[in-house]
Amino acid sequence: MTFQLLFLSLIGTMNKKYYTLPLNVGKLINRETHDTCSLEQSISHHIHLISTTYFGECAFDETFGCAIWTIDFDNLKTANNLKSLMQQSLFESISKHEKRLQAIEVKVKMKQTQLAGDINSIRIKKRLDIIIKARVKKTNEVFSHIEYFYIGPLSYS
């Protein structure tokens, strides 16, 4: 069973117990105590999982994931088109797969960043800043999640 499949099945069956990541499958199989986290941390973990999964990776639900991985090496689309595509993809996936949230807002900011590579080389990457704001259905509390990814293959020396 893949990590994503196991994690998704646990999210659906957990009542008040939210497991931390990385998931220690051995502890779960042996019915040992696994580290737990808050509801908000669990939601953040799930959003991260959605963001880092490409469409079709989870065989039981090909809609789970987002479009980051389909545009990773796309240098032909404009920055605004990529940003729009990412915002829409994340919004749709989070709305569909993270049922513990409501009033979801997704913002994606894109900027070009230089990263040091090997000796005498510099890599140019697009950095996607992802900001999620919503309300937790169970508590009606404000929820916020921020993370970033680097995409784009360009590098030079």
- Give the tens place of pLDDT for each residue, 13-24: 445 678 888 888
Question: How much of the chain exceeds pLDDT 70, in percent?
Answer: 79
Neighbours of 15 (CB within 10 A): 5
Mark residue 101 as left, alpha or beta (left: phi above 0; alpha: psi -120 to 50; beta: remaining). beta
DSSP-assigned letters across all residues of 49-63: HHHT-BTTSSTT-TT
Predicted TM-score (pTM) above 0.85: no
Domain span at 124: 3-156
Question: How much of the chain exceeds pLDDT 90, in percent?
Answer: 34
* Rounded Cα–Cα distance for residues 112 and 114 (Å): 7
- Give the tens place of pLDDT for each residue, 97-145: 999 999 999 999 988 877 776 777 777 777 889 999 999 999 999 999 9
Segment 35-49 shows an average pLDDT of 92
How confident is the prediction for the chain on average, in pLDDT? 81
In CATH, what number is assigned to the domain containing residue 51?
Answer: 3.10.450.40
Query: What is the total count of domains within the chain?
Result: 1
